[in-house]
Amino acid sequence: MSNQITIQPTKFVNVRSGDSSLGVRVYDNYGQSYTNTWESIPDDDLEILKLVLELEDKVVCAMMDFLQEDQKTIDIGGEYYSWDEIKYLFLDDEEMINDDMLKCDHCEKWIDVEDAISQGTHHSSEKWCPECVKGKQND
């Protein structure tokens, strides 16, 4: 059975005092950890993942290493993200370029080189992602 890593945005409630705090639970088939010191939980799942990657928790770090090594899909609050969707958070710019990815010149999202669409402009030729090109056509 494959090991699924899950990040669960969580409101922790003390059942005696009623005090609550915010953070995430991070778990897989073998271990679990949590942090409950966040002021708020981002709406954007990938922003949540970014914060999780900054945690200095040993259990969480080991899970994130495993995720990167095995290029796994991650579950963030019930939504599944493939390695391709999240890898830019794990790799530095140079590694992404080696992996044939480039940044959309418009929205700065990482895209596959093959998905990039050339946008001829007056000064230079920009590479845009398909979504930005579509947005432009709808203007």
| Interaction site with Zn ion (CB under 5 A) | 104, 106-107, 129, 132
C-beta of 74 vs 104, nearer to Zn ion:
104
Nearer to Zn ion, 70 or 84 (CB): 84
Cα–Cα distance for residue pair 7/32, rounded to 1 Å: 10
Query: In the complex, what is the shortest distance from the CB of residue 68 to Zn ion, in angstroms, rounded to a whole number?
Result: 25
> What is the rounded CA–CA span in Å between residue 31 and residue 6?
11
Judged by beta carbon, residue 25 or residue 106, the one nearer Zn ion is 106
* 78 and 7 Cβ atoms separated by less than 8 Å: no
CB of residue 70 vs Zn ion: minimum separation in angstroms? 29
d(CA 58, CA 66): 12
Q: How far apart, in whole angstroms, are the C-alpha atoms of residue 12 and residue 9?
A: 10
3-state SS, residue 35: strand
| Alpha-carbon gap, residue 61 to 92, rounded angstroms | 17
Cβ at position 86, least distance to Zn ion in Å: 17
> CB of 135: closest distance to Zn ion in angstroms?
8
In the complex with Zn ion, the residue whose CB is nearer, 81 or 128, is 128
